[in-house]
Amino acid sequence: MNSAAQTTAEDEVADLLSDLIAINTSNPTHPERPAAEWVAEKLAEVGIESQILEAAPGRASTIARISGEDSSRAPLLIHGHLDVVPAEASEWSVDPFAGEIRDGYVWGRGAVDMKDMDAMTLAVVREWARTGRRPPRDIVLAFVSDEEAGGTQGAHWLVDNHPGLFADCSEAISEVGGFSVTMNNDLRLYLIQTAEKGLGWLRLRAQGRPGHGSMIHDDNTVTKLAAAVSRIGAHEFPITVTDTLRRFLEDVAKLTGLPIDPDDPQAALPHLGGMARMIGATLRNTANPTMLSAGYKANVIPSTAEATIDTRFLPGFEDELMAKIDELAGPGIEREFIHRDIAVETSFDGAVVDAMAAALRAEDPAAQAVPYLMSGGTDAKSFSTLGIRCFGFAPLRLPPDLDFSALFHGIDERVPVDGLQFGVRVLDRFLSNS
């Protein structure tokens, strides 16, 4: 191993990721404090000061600011979450919290969501600190808690209680963007996230008269709720071509020559290969029933029945989605939010986008950056409320046969070591020119 003074970002990124995966931060059972302290230690080793802030006991985030050459410029925010979703070890071929490195991959929960970006960011800023390099402008680092539960004890809490740490930032980069999709030997698309759906986790409730299960009963809450849930689950919302989706389809058609009509995105899906599932989820609003709860005994008709619905809405279409939910649910069904968060969208232009595309092309001549809309959500929802333009840019060059989207919250989550090394080279170039 090289000495600490000689160690490069490429040398240590896989080991950093392995060590971070080995800190179990499964939300909500394993708070992020140990990982936040580990990040602070890794920054302190190279002379970068940081602070740890807790929204609740153990729900900790590590924040640092690196001074740039031009303090008059608005800073860039790099944010990443430290928590992960749980993993059932019996379903995996490796220990999900061992951070094992084998067969050219780093394995474990968080390898792609999103401790890989945390490790790449740490690797780059540590190398810069060791060698005395400074970014062109200030960089704010935020390694935050609670993203997997909506960020109420993470990014949302930080924005509400410590907005001054981030308010002067003009752009931000984070997860679920900058990864490659191989079209052919001469073309790899790198999807930059410029938009994401909003979310509304809903509780539907039916109430009525309880009664004996042997009697004829015309006010059965289970029946009313089941009918409402069935209508919602079976409904197909209309296709909507957002600005981001249109730009994506236009760019893909131009770059590939495929017969893609931006006004008919459904017909374009068969041409998109491994991207089809990811893009298909962004063509329309969605509402998926996920949980049901009613009753306490087989022969008692309950007075209350409840269901949980996971709704995701396109930018600008929340009101339309909720109106349709109320219509489909019908009379006698109450609706309330368990958790709600906004949709986010920014344009695919400007100096920061140019810097992303240039950094990708410098490391991969076949690279073409294209924008996309993500069906899930990130902490961009919180930071965008401060007026920050948020992008998903965690660059990875991936093997053509890797089903990357299936690894998010999936079994045997893993990331290629050479993909991580590619990522730190791209981030180094991007940060040097942003």
Last residue of a domain, one of 278, 313, 341: 341
Q: Is residue 191 part of a domain?
A: no
Eight-class DSSP state of 299 = T
Eight-class DSSP state of 271 = G
Residues 6 or more apart from 337 whose CB is under 8 A from it? 200, 201, 202, 203
Q: What's the pLDDT score for residue 5?
A: 54
> Are 19 and 103 part of one and the same domain?
yes
> Are 170 and 201 part of one and the same domain?
no
Average pLDDT for residues 403-412, to the nearest whole number?
91
Cβ–Cβ < 8 Å for 191, 395: no
> Are 248 and 386 part of one and the same domain?
no
Q: How many domains does the chain have?
A: 2
> Are 82 and 159 part of one and the same domain?
yes
- Model confidence at 1: pLDDT above 90: no
Six-digit token pair at 11? 């040398």
Encode pLDDT of 338-395 as tens digits. 999 999 999 999 999 999 999 999 999 999 999 999 998 999 999 999 999 999 999 9
Encode pLDDT of 213-245 as tens digits. 888 888 899 999 999 999 999 999 999 999 999
Determine what percent of the chain is predicted with pLDDT higher than 70. 99
Average pLDDT for residues 256-274, to the nearest whole number?
90
Average pLDDT for residues 284-306, to the nearest whole number?
95
Identify the domain containing residue 157 by its residue range.
9-176+378-432
Q: What's the pLDDT score for residue 3?
A: 47
Q: Is residue 183 part of a domain?
A: no
- Model confidence at 8: pLDDT above 80: yes
What mean pLDDT, rounded, does the chain reach? 95
Encode pLDDT of 276-285 as tens digits. 888 999 999 9
> Are 58 and 202 part of one and the same domain?
no
CATH of the domain at 117: 3.40.630.10
- Model confidence at 145: pLDDT above 50: yes
Q: Is residue 15 part of a domain?
A: yes
Say how many residues make up the chain.
434
Last residue of a domain, one of 313, 341, 369: 341
Q: Is residue 190 part of a domain?
A: no
> Are 168 and 221 part of one and the same domain?
no
pLDDT band, very low/low/confident/very high, at 2 (cuts 50, 70, 90): very low
Q: Is residue 24 part of a domain?
A: yes
Residues 6 or more apart from 152 whose CB is under 8 A from it? 55, 146, 339
Q: Is residue 353 part of a domain?
A: no
CATH of the domain at 335: 3.30.70.360
> Are 231 and 302 part of one and the same domain?
yes
Q: Is residue 334 part of a domain?
A: yes
Average pLDDT for residues 140-144, to the nearest whole number?
98
Q: Is residue 184 part of a domain?
A: no
Q: What's the pLDDT score for residue 212?
A: 87
